[in-house]
Structure 1
Amino acid sequence: MTDAPRPIHIRLRKQSRVLELEYANEQVYSLSWEYLRVYSPSAEVRGHHESQAVLQAGKQQVGVSELKPVGHYALQIVFDDGHDSGLYAWDYLYRLCTQKAELWQAYLDDLAEAGASREPDTQVLHFQP
């Protein structure tokens, strides 16, 4: 655990598809569901080492089904694509808030380098019979 601030209000905005986090300093951050999904802290996404991270493509339309508090230290987000194994500790969420521009650009760069897309429809496997 770190000294990262804990949000005082958490709102799931279904129409705008964001998780809104408000902190005591009156800072309010809006994190898209896609951003939260591609930066899931789970081992399935991040791996156990940086070299094992799996690029999450095609998540632009991902939804959030449920939020679950985990003790006094984290939030579990259940996504409609079945992903639910990441625990978003307060310090990790705060990092996602305060470093959003840099992290999002890094994700877009990784997608471009891999020739992948945010769009779920474009994730097509090509087979030659």
Structure 2
Amino acid sequence: MVDRTPCASTTAFAQMAGLDSKTPHPTSIVVHRQSRVLEIEFDQGSAFRLPFELLRVYSPSAEVRGHGPGQEVLQIGKRGVDIVALEPVGNYAVQPRFSDGHATGLYSWDYLYWLGVNQETLWNDYLKRLEAAGASRE
């Protein structure tokens, strides 16, 4: 007999991937290349316009986030970054390919929703970290 009870790691992956039943799901995702904005609408009514630059500098990839706290890599010079492709990943995420070659981040529905809700705070934090590092968006 096979035990089909989800193990803790399976449950954690499902939550990390945005598969929680409470996670809003997108009803529309539109890439606006001219304005460099990803427009996303969710099934519970929320809608966000996420700048490509914000998506790029907050990529969920290990390349940007590191493999643990304190290993984050400040992304500089991303002001003009574009999304050149956006691929669906199952029923839980999208994977953008950016004009600077970055293509390893999987953006779950949960993560996209979190970015939308926290957009202003995240953006201000990014600008402060750039200033503290003496770095530029250019």
TM-score after normalising by structure 1: 0.89
State the AA in 1 paired with 2:133: A
State the AA in 2 paired with 1:19: L
For 2:39 and 2:90, how far apart are their aligned partners in 1? 20
Deviations 1:30-76 (A, max 9, x none): 00000000000000000011211000010000111100000011110
Give the unaligned 5+ runs of structure 2: 1-14
Q: SS in structure 1 opposite 2:79?
A: coil
Counterpart in 1 of 2:89?
70
Q: SS in structure 2 opposite 1:116?
A: coil
For 2:48 and 2:62, how far apart are their aligned partners in 1? 25
Matched, 1:104 2:123: yes
Matched, 1:43 2:70: no
For 1:59 and 1:12, how far apart are their aligned partners in 2? 17
For 2:97 and 2:135, how far apart are their aligned partners in 1? 24
Give the unaligned 5+ runs of structure 1: 120-129
State the AA in 2 paired with 1:26: G
Larger radius of gyration: 2
Counterpart in 2 of 1:125?
none
For 2:82 and 2:99, how far apart are their aligned partners in 1? 5
1:107 Cα deviation after fit: 0.6
Q: Give the counterpart of 2:135 among 108, 116, 125.
A: 116
Runs of 4+ residues over 3 Å off in structure 1: none
Counterpart in 1 of 2:37?
18
Matched, 1:93 2:92: no
1:26 Cα deviation after fit: 3.0
Paired residues, number: 119
Counterpart in 2 of 1:59?
78
Contact (CA 8 Å) 2:24, 2:44: kept in 1 or not? Answer: no
TM-score after normalising by structure 2: 0.83
Q: Give the counterpart of 2:99 among 72, 80, 84.
A: 80
State the AA in 1 paired with 2:36: R
